[in-house]
Structure 1
Amino acid sequence: MKIEITKINANGNNFIIINDFNFDNNLLTKQTINKICNQFQTDGLIKIDIDKNNKNIFIMNYFNNDGSWETLCMNGLTCSGFLLGHKMFKKNLKIKSNNILYPINIIDNNEIKIKIPLPQYKLKNVMIDDINGDYIDSGAKHFITQVKAFDNDDILIKTAQKIRYNKKIFPEGINVNFFKILNTLSIEVKTYEKGIEKLMDSCASGSYACAYDAYQKNKLKNSIKIINPGGNFKIIFEQNQDCYLINKAHLEYNQNIDLSLFL
């Protein structure tokens, strides 16, 4: 069975996208998703569909490299908006992920503006060993902690795993974000992502959670530059509580594959 896939990335966060609306989604088992992601060296796989109740709305389902479904990936949302905008010659479109609607504007060839809901604090001042942080839902679930300086990556991974695998507080696991405030206009973020189990080049939803925390507690400006190892993007908080992600996507290639090789 031949299908077309697209490999695309945002800030080094790589994805395979399948946007064949006639594709049988039941074929995407955890094992198949994991095989495809490993074959093409991607962090996750995205399946795009059309909303059955409104043909002007697209549905995005995001799967981690291990095949587990996730509520949201904002870099994946950026890539999905970019791909759909260019394939369907649209400057404005709407994508739904986990039943939340995201209006998207294609600013230019590869820059995307996404309206995003305000994050929600779920737990504040959580202590795990000697790490203090907050549990924030920004569309995906994140434990965020502010640091004065980043430890080396090996130490960050060990620290993150203590939090990610703390079943007492997070029975389903959680993504872990470390952030450092650089000035009133920018922060730097490093992310350990569950389902991929490594430090990421970028995580937009986790960075959004960090930016929101910094904006609320440290009085940062309303337009915040986010610096990730894989690239930079911007979060904007408007006075009416509208929030926006300004991000970029980059198409790597389209390719036809024989899906039966991955079943």
Structure 2
Amino acid sequence: MSKEKILKFYKFEGALNDFIVIDGRFNKLENPEEYAKLLLDRHASIGGDSLLYLEESDVADIKMRVLEKDGSESQMCGNGARCIGLYFERFYGIGNITIETLAGVKKVKKVSENRFVVSMGPMQKLRNFVNGPRNEYELIHELFSFKIFVVNSSEPHAVIPLKSIKRIPKEKGLKISKNFKLFPYGINVDFIEILNEETIKIRTIERGVYEETLACGTGAVASAYVFNKFLGGKDIVHVKALGGELKVELGKNENYLEGEAHYVFKGDIEL
């Protein structure tokens, strides 16, 4: 990593899930994973939940890589995708884009000022995110006396319903998130509280970050899906995160995530 490199970056947030955006088409990085570990440090650098590194794509308008604080790469980020939608709208005047991710191509559409909807695709197979026998798409399991519902909404999530999430068992949540014997790549953990048949509250511990974030887009979709399929929820679910409210619309072949995205600032950092 060059000590004299000047790097242009942008800061965005969606429901206070905050991101550093680096457009690799103009600021190419040889090892962006290493830059993620450096730049996401909130005390010694810019700080953020994830680094969204953009590259050219052969199948979409842009490729988005989601890089975490530990240097790992996530499959997809719903809040991040909305922020990239805003990046293209603000700096290039393009309202609708397609984004290549490790979980497939996602469509992002502007619906109003600072508000975007992401076509998240259908729920995906659990694949090698979970060890042991299970249904291809779902695992219902018990850990630390919690009933957990494991699904893949473009990212693997363990959804845990509680009577109240005013206080969550973070230590146990972290142990589940880092249970690499069961979840070889770690797993996102979502604690949810049902308010009514159309509304839930959510608090999420994200893998790669391994701490609580103020919102998680794929977590909102995973939780809405579990709520709808197993706990009596509707097809349209309002998900109240600590950082803001997201709207999830569930369909047979497509799930949609809608919410706000905001540009925070841009700058140059010398490395």
TM-score of the two chains, using structure 2 as the length reference: 0.87
Distance in 1 separating the partners of 2:171 and 2:49? 20
Work out whether 1:145 is the aligned partner of 2:160. yes
Share of identical aligned residues, percent? 22
Unpaired stretches in structure 1, ≥5 consecutive residues: none
Distance in 1 separating the partners of 2:217 and 2:159? 13
Q: Pick one of 132, 151, 154 that aligns with 1:136.
A: 151
Work out whether 1:75 is the aligned partner of 2:79. yes
CA contact (8 A) 1:17 1:45 kept: yes
Residue equivalent to 2:37? 34
Corresponding letter in the other structure for 1:22? F
Distance in 1 separating the partners of 2:151 and 2:103? 18
Residue equivalent to 1:62? 66
Q: Pick one of 27, 36, 43 that aligns with 1:23.
A: 27
- Name the SS for the 1:67 alignment partner: coil
- Name the SS for the 1:170 alignment partner: coil
Residue equivalent to 1:243? 255
Q: Deviations over 1:67-97 (max 9, x none)?
A: 2111111111111111112222112110111
Unpaired stretches in structure 2, ≥5 consecutive residues: 127-136
1:97-176 correspondence runs (5 A): 97-98=101-102, 100-120=104-124, 122-150=137-165, 152-153=167-168, 156-176=169-189
> How many residues are treated as equivalent by the alignment?
253
CA contact (8 A) 1:19 1:49 kept: yes
TM-score of the two chains, using structure 1 as the length reference: 0.90
Post-superposition shift, 1:221?
Answer: 2.2
Residue equivalent to 2:56? 50
Residue equivalent to 2:203? 190
Distance in 2 separating the partners of 1:108 and 1:86? 13
- Name the SS for the 1:172 alignment partner: coil
Q: Deviations over 1:164-202 (max 9, x none)?
A: 122321122111111111111111111111221211111
Corresponding letter in the other structure for 1:17? V
RMSD: 1.7
Distance in 1 separating the partners of 2:82 and 2:181? 33
Distance in 2 separating the partners of 1:124 and 1:29? 30
Distance in 2 separating the partners of 1:33 and 1:91? 28
1:201-212 correspondence runs (5 A): 201-212=214-225
Q: Could you list the runs of 4 or more consecutive aligned residues of structure 1 that deviate by over 3 angstroms after TM superposition?
A: 120-123
Distance in 2 separating the partners of 1:206 and 1:131? 18
Post-superposition shift, 1:2?
Answer: 2.2
Distance in 1 separating the partners of 2:237 and 2:83? 21
Post-superposition shift, 1:217?
Answer: 1.9
- Name the SS for the 1:26 alignment partner: coil
Q: Deviations over 1:94-122 (max 9, x none)?
A: 01111501111112221001111122464
More helix by share: 1
